[in-house]
Amino acid sequence: MAVAMTVLYACSAPAPPVNASEDDPAKQGSGDDGTFGDRKGDGKGTTNPDGTCASSVAKTAKGKVDIVFVIDDSGSMDNEMAQIRTNVNTFASKIGSTGLDYTVTFITRKAKSAAETGNVICVPPPLGGANCGDKPPTFFHVDEDVGSNDSLELILSTLPRWSGHLRPEATKVFVEVTDDESDLAATSFDSQLLAKPGFGTATKRNYVFHSIISKPAGATAPSSQKCGTAAGSSLEYQALSKLTNGIMDEVCKTNYAGVLDNIAKGIAQSAGCELAYPSTETSDPNKLVVRVTPASGAPKTLTQVTDVSKCGTVADAWYYDVPAKPTKIILCATTCTSATATASTKVEALVGCAGAAPK
């Protein structure tokens, strides 16, 4: 679901639009590049002679997400690979429709042509390039034979080959597809990955691990049960998904349309409810108010909390990633769900207006 996000610069309560053109983003002096154009006043926290707010309007930078598919291409995975190939363009389209700035990387055996058969994948356009090629800057394919048990080891060992496509500020999202178990323990993978730049820390991870695995859809994780003819259990992948609040689904399903759609929604809800903090000379993290305006209805001012741990106790809440020097404005999970439930909902930050102290 697309969510419009803007930043309003103001000194007190936001002023009502003077005329229709001032309220029309297409006629304001700002663009998708995040640059600011004065609408009235000087945008530095001063007031106009009539006492109304001086303000400027600009869109925030779109949320960024780097998605890495790691696909077991062993002999038992031919149908599953075909399902990924069939549905990945719809998956990418749904990610793009949310307004997220995304990249996709595949780690699995690469087909030399669309006609090649076997346990290989040719990602077709529009996500992939012509003749099974890459399509920078959005899609990259790391041609690597992924065995039944070495997905996690290969993520770490091949990282130098694809880390250049990752963006430091982007949320990293893994999508594991396998019908077997990992030889590398989840705890070891996590610690080794966090030692690499860009993946966060043990207290604040910057990656999510989604799993399409052998655990039956109806089984409660952690579970050693296996779906259908799956080759092995999936306890290590389950552990990573639980650790990072990732989604788990069943690899034995015969149609992956719903599987990838569910993951796409999960990505949109997590990364799509983050606003880039407006890092300008005049911005002050203590003078910022966040509000949500549905397509029809009155705007609602959200409550700032000190950190994510307070989200469960305060309704309609948001928080900074780093309160002293923020880079992101993050909506709490329940707030995010509400904000993305209706098309054309606007999430706005009123900058320069002192709100209530964080709870």
Round to whole Å and give the CA distance between 207 and 246.
9
Range name among 130-144, 149-163, 311-325 with the lowest pLDDT average:
311-325
In tens, the pLDDT along 259-317 reads: 999 999 888 877 767 777 776 645 678 878 888 888 777 888 899 999 989 998 999 99
Question: Residue 62: its pLDDT value, please?
Answer: 61
pLDDT for position 341: 61
Omega prior to 126 cis, within 30 of 0? yes
In percent, how much of the chain has pLDDT > 90?
Answer: 57
The pLDDT value recorded for residue 199 is: 96
Per-residue model confidence (pLDDT) at position 279: 66
Distance CA 353, CA 155 (A): 45
Nearest to 43 by CA among 282, 275, 288: 282
Average pLDDT over residues 11-20: 37
Range name among 6-15, 17-26, 29-38, 120-129 with the lowest pLDDT average: 29-38
- In three-state secondary structure terms, 254 is coil
Position 81: which residue type? M
pLDDT band per the 50, 70, 90 thresholds, residue 38: very low
d(CA 326, CA 284): 10
What local confidence, expressed as pLDDT, does residue 343 receive?
53
- Per-residue exposure over 322-354, b if at least 16 CB sit within 10 Å of its own CB, e if not: eeeebebbbbbbebbebbbeeeebebbbbbbbe
- Highest averaged pLDDT of the listed ranges 34-48, 73-87, 259-273: 73-87
User: What is the CB neighbour count within 10 angstroms for residue 257?
Assistant: 13
Query: Region 128-141: what's the mean pLDDT?
Result: 96
Query: Which of 305, 287, 286 minimizes the C-alpha distance to 358?
Result: 305
The highest-confidence range among 102-106, 168-172, 294-298, 312-316, by mean pLDDT, is 102-106
3-state SS class at 315: coil
DSSP letter assigned to residue 11: S
**Confidence bin at 47 (pLDDT 50/70/90):** very low
Question: For the segment 319-330, what is each residue's pLDDT rounded down to a tens digit?
Answer: 998 888 888 888
Domains of the chain: 4-61+282-351 (no CATH), 64-271 (3.40.50)
Q: Which whole number is the average pLDDT over 9-18?
A: 39
Can you give the pLDDT at residue 344? 65
Segment of 27-31, 187-191, 343-347 carrying the highest mean pLDDT: 187-191
How much is the mean pLDDT over the chain? 82
- pLDDT of 342 reads 59
Q: Is residue 224 over pLDDT 50?
A: yes
